[in-house]
Chain A
Amino acid sequence: MDDGTDDLRAALEAPAPPPSVALLGAVGTPARVRTRSRFGAFAAVALLGLAWPAYTLAHAALRPDLKLLPPMWVAVGAALWGLSFGLALWTALVPRRGDVLPASAVAGRVAGAAMGLLLVFAAFWTTSVPGVSARPEDLGISTLQSSWGCAKVVLEAAAPVLLIGFFALRRLLPVGARAAGIAVGAAGGAIGGLALHFICPMATAGHVLIGHVGAMIAASVAGALIFGALLDR
């Protein structure tokens, strides 16, 4: 049965014109160019993005309850933050084998899933050591006030990742720049969250949800807005 696609094919098929004068002029005698590697952008952004949290971890005091917390909780938390960083950045910047462009839509979904998992982790599996772990009420401040400092740390960690990620994707003519921005912003936020997992003394769910995961989500929203406005033109 004719469903219209054969007619469409007939309507659309036609010989293409030869290359125009302008195109031939632009191509001229093309110079040899050094092409992009699949992993170059990822390696550059990951290394430079890791520099700040590595410096912070090396110089800041570790949380006082770290040795008393369940090792499984510490390991799972670190794995979640670390994998969120690695996977979101990998899918945003590394094309699949045989592809030229990274799959931005997939990257956006991976970042979304990572943020969802971290929200669940923070909401339902926050652990504290009574008497050792800090709580905002012990310091006489609200959860919101206690979260501001950590949110700043997450956003400071995300900023260089967003900046370098932006320059890495700038010349790629990508489609789905917003989704790529979500992923790169989330990756930057996750690396900040990973550092805080080891240094932040606050152990309440509200603080981690707002100051750590909330700031990561804010970084991914910033990525979507910046990449969407500047790359998706």
Chain B
Amino acid sequence: MEPEALEAAELMARYCDGDVAAFHQLYAKLAPRVLAYLKGLLGERAAAEDVLQQAFIKVHEARATYVRAANPIPWIYTIAHRTCLDELRRRKRSRVRLTKDGTVATEGASQTAHAAHITGVAEGAHESEEPSAEAVAAMAALQRLPENQRQALILTKVHGRSIAEAAQIAGTTPGAIKLRAHRAYVTLRELLKRKDPAASGKELA
């Protein structure tokens, strides 16, 4: 196991033994990466922060199912991913209701705000620096990819997780992850090329 995984496994074992400081260390170590992963899947920081908190509550509730000495990082990503899927399904249901009667235009947003209130995420917690135009374009292109390709791309190309780990997180085979990540990578490059006038000009010339 890599040093990072060993350290996480040790923290998780201490946390399962009742050490609250180990939980805080584990959170500090993994939350930024899990948040980045969720932000890539959901496309917005506020919702990602809310799902992050929910995911760590689920990790706490499921800690008895942890296997000692195992790498908890893919497991925590998996739980975060499941929580994210639940959020996406909830949003979809909100949209369906919206199109049926048209009177609950802010339902999805208010539910997220309500959930954020419940989980105690501070309103200003997601304020950060203005992102660059390239970063905005990359995020917009990412949101156009199918969910499973987005997941594979973020895990392998952005977060640098191994193919085996990414497959474990997604609950699929390494071959499927490789294929999804490759397709996502090709589509992302295409989309970004199209948005870049300089690149388009070079191609035309």
Binding site for B on A (CB under 8 A): 3-5, 7-17, 19-24, 26-38, 95, 98-101, 103-106, 109, 171-176, 179
User: Which residues of chain A are near B74, meaning CB under 8 Å?
Assistant: 99-101
**Which of B65, B119, B125 neighbours the largest number of chain A CB atoms within 10 Å of its CB?**
B65
Contact in complex: A104, B171 (CB < 8 Å) = yes
B30 nearest CB neighbor, chain A only: A16
| Distance of A91 from chain B, by nearest CB (Å) | 12
CB–CB B135/A11 < 8 A: yes
Number of B residues with CB within 8 Å of any CB on chain A: 79
Q: Which residues of B contact A172 (CB under 8 A)?
A: 62, 65
Q: Verify A29–B18 contact, CB threshold 8 A.
A: yes
A13-B36, A99-B71, A103-B168 given; A173·B79 CB < 8 A: yes
B173 A106 Cβ-Cβ under 8 A: yes
User: Min CB distance, A181 to chain B, in Å?
Assistant: 12
Q: Name which residue of chain B comes closest to A21, CB basis.
A: B120
Collect the chain A residues with CB atoms within 8 Å of residue B131's CB: 10-11
With A and B bound together, what is the CA distance between A19 and B24 in angstroms? 8
Contact present for A22 and B20 (CB under 8 Å): no
Q: Are B52 and A16 in contact (CB under 8 A)?
A: yes
Query: How far is B75's CA from A4's CA once the two chains are assembled, in angstroms?
Result: 28
Within 8 A of A (CB), among B178-193: 185, 188-189, 192
Smallest CB separation, A179 vs chain B (Å): 7
Which A-chain residue is minimally distant from B63 (CB atoms)? A33
Q: What's the least CB distance linking A17 to chain B, in Å?
A: 4
- Which of chain A's residues have a CB closer than 8 A to the CB of B31? 16-17
Contacts of B56 in A (CB 8 A): 19, 23
The answer for the CA separation of A19 and B1 in the assembled complex, in Å, is: 28
Task: Give Cα distance in the complex from A3 to B62, angstroms.
Answer: 38
Whether the pair A100, B18 counts as a contact (CB closer than 8 A) is no
| Inter-chain contact B39/A27, CB cutoff 8 Å | no
Closest to A9 in B: B158
Instruction: Please determine whether B64 and A33 come into contact, CB atoms closer than 8 angstroms.
Output: yes
Report yes or no: A95 in contact with B136, Cβ–Cβ below 8 A. Answer: no
Contact partners of B153 in chain A: CB under 8 A: 5, 8
Partner of A99, one of B82, B120, B122, B168: B168
Q: Does B35 contact A (CB under 8 A)?
A: yes
Contacting residue for B139 out of A8, A36, A176, CB 8 A: A8
Q: Is B47 close to A, CB under 8 A? A: no
Q: Which residue of B lies closest to A33 (CB)?
A: B64
Q: Which of B135, B171, B188 contacts A10 (CB 8 A)?
A: B135
Q: Is A23 within 8 A of B120, CB to CB?
A: yes
Which chain B residues border A8 with CB–CB below 8 Å?
40, 135, 138-139, 142, 153-154, 157-158, 188
Closest CB in chain A relative to B139 CB, distance in Å = 5
**Docked-complex contact A105 and B173, CB < 8 angstroms:** yes
Among residues of B, the one whose C-beta sits closest to the C-beta of A95 is: B67
Q: Are A23 and B119 in contact (CB under 8 A)?
A: yes
Give chain A residues whose Cβ lies under 8 Å from the Cβ of B45: 14
How many angstroms between the C-alpha atoms of A27 and B78 in the bound complex? Answer: 20
Q: Which of A17, A99, A104, A175 contacts B70 (CB 8 A)?
A: A99
B113 within 8 A of A: no
